[in-house]
Structure 1
Amino acid sequence: MKKTALYEKHVALGAKIVPFAGYDMPVQYSGVTEEHFAVREKAGLFDVSHMGQFFIEGAGSRELLQYVTTNNVDTLENGKAQYSCLPNEDGGIVDDLIVYKMEEDKYFVVVNASNIEKDWNHISKYNTFGAKMTNSSDDMSLLAIQGPKATEILQKLTETNLSEIPYYNFTVGNVAGVENVIISNTGYTGSGGFEIYFDNANAVKLWDAIIEAGAEDGIIPCGLAARDTLRLEKGFCLYGMDINDETSPMEAGLGWITKFDKDFVSKEIFAKQKEEGITKKLVGFELQDKGVPRHDYAVVDAEGKIIGKVTSGTQSPMKKIGLGIAIIDKPYFKLGSEIFIQVRNKNIPAKVVKMPFVA
C-alpha cells in the first residue's frame, strides 16, 4: 500500500487507517458524526493526497483535452477550473475529473486515486496532438480545508486575497511560507472552502500551520468516512459507486458537463441518448421509514420487482434519515415516485427526491 506524506501524522493523531485506492488512508479521527458537523458548522481538514495530478501542456494540450473530456475546454480562462469527465468508447465514464487552466497551453488535471493509471493510459492513447504529459501524482500533496470558517482560517496564512477567488477559480501563491501552492476554491463537501496543492516536502508544515491557525475556530482533522457522508448529503457522485465504465453522463445527470458544440469521444452515443431519452437514471431518494441504505441494495417497485439498485447510501447526520443515490429504471426515476429499498429482506418505502438532500 502507498502512503501519503502525512501518514505518520495521521497515525500520531490516532486516526483509524484503512486501505483505500491503493493507499493507507485515515477513515476517521474523533468520529464520523463529530467530523461531519465540524465541516458543516465550522471547519475540517482532509488529507486527500491520494488523488492523481497530471500536467498537460504545450502545443496540442487544448486539442487533446477537448477531445478526451465532455466539457468544453475552450470556455476556460487562465485561473479557472472545470468539472468534467472522460468518456470511454462505449458511452460510459472512465473517470470524473477537474481541469485547471494554468496558462495558455498549460493545464492541470486532477483525477480519482483509484483511476490514476487507467486515466493516464486512456488520455495517452488519444495523445496524437503532441501534448507533453507529466504524471505528478506521487510528488504532490493535496489538503482540503472545508467548512464555513475555512476561508477565514486559510486567510491567516496567505497574503492572497481569498475573497477574490470565486468558486471553481484558483491562483498560485504563498501559504504559510510555502511558495507555488495552487489555491483552489473547490471541494467535495458542499460547505465551502479551499483545496491546496503543493510538493510533498511541505505537507507536514502546511498541515500543522492550518490546524494551528484554525484552532480557535474549531477546525479538526477529518477522514474519508465524513468526506463520504458530506458529499452524499450534497448529491455529489463518487466514481466506482455512483458512476463507472457503464454509466453515461446522461444517466448520471451530468448532461450539464456534456457539450455538443465540439467533437469528443462517444459524442454520437450521448447525442442519441439526449434526443431519444434514457431508460435508467441516477436519482436521489429518502427512506420513509427507519433503515440505512447501502451500496448494491436492490430497489423494487410495489410488487417487489427489481427496478434498480442503490449506488450510495447512508444515515444522514444532518437529516437523521436514511438517504442515498440509486440507478433506477424508467419511469420510476421521476421525482416523487414511490420506490422500495430492500434492507435486510425488508422492503422499506422510499421517495425519489431532488438533490441536494441538504441545502
Structure 2
Amino acid sequence: MSDFKRTPLFEIYKEYGGKTIDFGGWELPVQFSSIKEEHEAVRERAGLFDVSHMGEFLITGIGAENFLQKLVTNDVSKLKVEAAQYTAMCYKDGGTVDDLIIYKRDENEFLVVVNASNIEKDFQWMEQQLLPGVELKNVSKQVSQLALQGPLAEKVLQKLTKTNLAEITFFTFRDEIDLQGVKALVSRTGYTGEDGFEIYCNNKDVVFLWRELLEVGKDEGLMPCGLGARDTLRFEARLPLYGQELTKDITPIEAGIGFAVKVDKEIEFIGKKILKLQKEKGLQKRIVGIEMIEKGIPRTGYEVFVGEEKVGFVTSGTHSPTLKKNIGLALVDIEFAPLNTLVEVQIRKKRLKAKVVSTPFYKRS
C-alpha cells in the first residue's frame, strides 16, 4: 500500500500513459507523453491538468471579509461577488505563509484555494487568527480541480455547457455551471500564462469530466498534461512557486508580486509593517530573471556570484521549451538586480556566465 496521497483520478492516469512521481507527499503525474509536447500543446492549443491535490477552504459568516482582510496582503474589500483575487498570507516579519486565490461566492462566503504542500500549515495558521462569527472549514478532501489551459481552452469547454463562457472574464467565475449534468465552479484563472479555466467539482464527478473533456477536445489537439509542463509553463510566465520564489524567508515584494500587496488598505494585516517599509524604503534583495550566456542550466539552489562574492541563489531554472534558452529566476542582493548585470552561476564545479534579463520570459500576445 502506498504512503502517498492520491487524487480521485489516480486510477486512470495509466490509461493515458501517465508517469507518476512524489510531489510533496502526493503521487502525481509528471508527464503523459513528454514535457516538451505537453508544454507546446498548452502554448499552441490546449492542455488538461489534474490539480485536485490543491487545498480548498470555505470561509463563511458576517465577519468573513474582515477576517480575510486581516490575514492577506491584497484588498479583499475590492472583491465583487463572482470575482477572484490573487493574494498572499504573511508572517509578522513579512515572510510568506502561502500564496492563494480567494473566490467571493457571496457577501459572506469565500472559497480560498491554497497550495497542496501547505494545506495543514495554512489551516492551522488561519485557525489561530480566526475572528468571532467566522467559520473556517477545510473542504479539500471533497473537492477535485481540473485546469484546462491554452488558447483553445474556451472552445473545448464550451462543448460541455450552454453557459456562454466568453462572459467569464479573467479572474471571474460562475458557480453551479452545468457541464454535461455535472455542477461545477468554473473560473477564468490558471498557472500557465495562457488563457484557460480552473474547474472545481465534487470528487465523484471528476473522472467523468476528465474523460469528457479529453474526448470533446480531440479536434482541438487537447492533451493530458503533467506537473513537468505545469512547472515550465508557470516558470516562463514568471509565476512564483511556493517553496522556491515564495518562502518564509522571502516576502511577496522580494518575490515580485508587490501588485498583490496593498499596504494602503486601512486594516492592519499581518506583516503590513515590514512590507510597507520594503515598499517605501526599497529592498535589500529581490528575485530577477537570468539568462545563461555560457552553456548550462541554472537549477534551484545553485549559487550566484559576482567575482568572488556570493550574491544570491537560483530559485527556479530550466531550459525554456518556448524560448529555447537556459533561463532562471534568482534571489540576488539589490545592487546586482539591474538589467544586463553580469553574474556567474555555480553549476557543479564550474562558474558559468549569465546576465540579468527582464521578466516575464514569456507573455502571450
TM range (shorter): over 0.9
- In the other structure, the counterpart of 1:186 is 189
- C-alpha displacement at 1:223, in angstroms? 0.2
Which residue, 80, 97, 102 being the options, matches 1:77? 80
Partner of 1:348: 352
Q: Which residue of 2 aligns with 1:38?
A: 41
Matches within 5 A, 1:212-291: 212-260=215-263, 261-262=265-266, 263-291=268-296
Q: Look up the match of 2:319.
A: 315
Offset, 1:130: 2.4
1:325 aligns with: 329
Which of 133, 138, 155 is equivalent to 1:135? Answer: 138
Identical counterparts, % of pairs = 46
Displacement of 1:176 in angstroms is: 2.0
TM-score (norm 2): 0.96
1:13 aligns with 2:16: yes
Shift of 1:289: 2.2
Paired with 1:358 and 1:346, the residues of 2 have a C-alpha distance of 28
How far apart in 1 are the matches of 2:220 and 2:280? 50
1:161 counterpart letter in structure 2 = N
CA distance in 2, matches of 1:189, 1:64: 30
Structure 1: tracts of 5 or more residues without a match: none
Q: What whole-Å deviation, never above 9, does each CA across 1:181-207 have from its counterpart, x for those lacking one?
A: 010000000111101000000011000
Number of the residue aligned with 1:297: 302
Contact 1:59 1:129 in 2 (8 A): no
SS in 1 for 2:98: strand
2: distance between equivalents of 1:129 and 1:66?
14
Structure 2 counterpart of 1:45, which letter?
L
Alignment partners' CA distance in 1, 2:127 and 2:63: 12
- Structure 2 Cα separation of the partners of residues 126 and 132 of structure 1: 12
Between the aligned partners of 2:68 and 2:25, the Cα distance in structure 1 is: 26
**Conservation of the 8 A alpha-carbon contact between 1:64 and 1:129:** no
Per-residue CA deviations over 1:253-299 (Å, capped at 9, x if unaligned) read 12211112232001111111222211100111111122111000010
- CA distance in 2 between counterparts of 1:50 and 1:293 reads 28
What's the CA shift for 1:21?
Answer: 2.2
Q: Which runs of 5+ in 2 are unaligned?
A: none
What is the deviation of 1:250? 1.7
| Superposition pairs of residues 157-196 of structure 1, within 5 angstroms | 157-172=160-175, 173-179=177-183, 181-196=184-199
> In the aligned structure 2, how far is the partner of 1:115 from the partner of 1:130?
25
Q: Shift of residue 339 of structure 1?
A: 1.2
State the shift of 1:89 in Å.
1.9
Whole-angstrom CA distance in 1 between matches of 2:181 and 2:341? 54
Runs of 4+ in 1 over 6 A off after TM superposition: none
Match of 1:358 in 2: 362
The Cα of 1:77 is off from its aligned counterpart by: 0.1
Paired residues of 1:98 and 1:111 also in contact (CA < 8 A): yes
